[in-house]
Structure 1
Amino acid sequence: PMLVAFIILWIILAKFGWPLFEGMLIKRETTIKDALEQSENARVESERVLAEYKRQLEETKAQSAQIIADAKKTGEAVKADITAKAQAEAAGMIEKAHAAIEADKKAAIAELQGSVADLSVAVASRLIGEDLNDDEHRKIIERYVNEAGSFNAN
């Protein structure tokens, strides 16, 4: 009886149970294959994304290096421009100072000439013993200047 029960059970399981069990195994195998394919696809995608991020990082580094180089160039150009303007301004100030000194020098020479002329007339008047008029003073001064040289000599 056990053998008959075993054979009946085996026939029932072979007819009804085995196809269900085999279906479950096939379904499990398909699920595992799909999971492996998805994980492989995810791995490939993550490698692609990683490569893209690395490329973007390199581009960003190159851009930042270019920005720094441009900023240095601009800074040096501004520095050169400021230096040139300062030098031009200093040269202008020096030129103005030279012009002012030259004007003061000419004014001092003119004042000195006037003083020398007045003093010469006074000395000449005392030496001659008579008071000369303006025209005579001028003639004597001009003759003296021609003989002695110019007062504008450097």
Structure 2
Amino acid sequence: MQDLDIISVNIWHIVISLANLVILFLILKKLLFKPVKKIVDKRQKEIESEYKKAEKTQAEADAIKAEWEGKMATAEAEADKIISDAVERADSRNEVMLYESREKADQIIRKAKADIERERKDARETIKKEIVDVSQTLSEQIIGREINMDDHRDLIDKAIDKIGEEQ
């Protein structure tokens, strides 16, 4: 039976081993688990704090981005308005210049027509006068005597008017 003593189970050894294990567990828990747990909890709080800071920073960045996009939209709208105002001013200037140039052209045409009409009247009067002078000279030579100038002019004016009406 000696062989069985070596293999046999001794209850007191098991109880003492379990008691040693529990004591060792309690000592380790007191010395290691609680401080490690505190460190882990502290780290967890720091990480949560960093996440909160990151979320806050992200929110601020989003707000700044939204503000910037709003300013860009406003700037684009202002640029479009400035461009449209410039186009409108250019169009109105173009219309004014076109109107003024038409007015000047009309004035030049009216003046030219008036000058032509005046020149025509002057030329007609000059031609009448020359015709009167020539016809008077011819009439004097043909008749051999002097004709009254007023009578002669009346006759020639009537003849010229008849010629002008026929044309």
The answer to whether the superposition gives a TM-score over 0.5 is yes
- Paired residues in the alignment total 151
Contact 1:109 1:151 in 2 (8 A): no
RMSD: 3.0
Specify whether residues 27 and 103 from structure 1 end up closer, same or farther in structure 2 by C-alpha distance, changes over 3 A only. same
Q: Which has the higher contact order (CA 8 A, sep 6+)?
A: 1
1:79 deviates by 0.7
Q: What percentage of aligned pairs have identical amino acids?
A: 21
What is the one-letter code of the residue matched to 1:69?
A: S
Specify the structure having the higher radius of gyration (Cα). 2
Equivalent residue, structure 1, for 2:150? 138
TM-score, structure 1 normalization: 0.79
Q: Deviations over 1:67-89 (max 9, x none)?
A: 22111111111110110010001
2:160 and 2:92 map into 1 onto residues whose CA distance is 58
User: Does 2:132 align with 1:120?
Assistant: no
Consecutive unaligned residues of structure 2, counting only runs of 5 or more, are 1-17
Consecutive unaligned residues of structure 1, counting only runs of 5 or more, are none
User: Does 2:91 align with 1:76?
Assistant: yes
2:126 and 2:33 map into 1 onto residues whose CA distance is 136
2:126 and 2:114 map into 1 onto residues whose CA distance is 18
TM-score, structure 2 normalization: 0.73
Instruction: Map 1:1-154 to 2 at 5 A.
Output: 14-15=29-30, 17-132=32-147, 136-146=148-158, 149=161
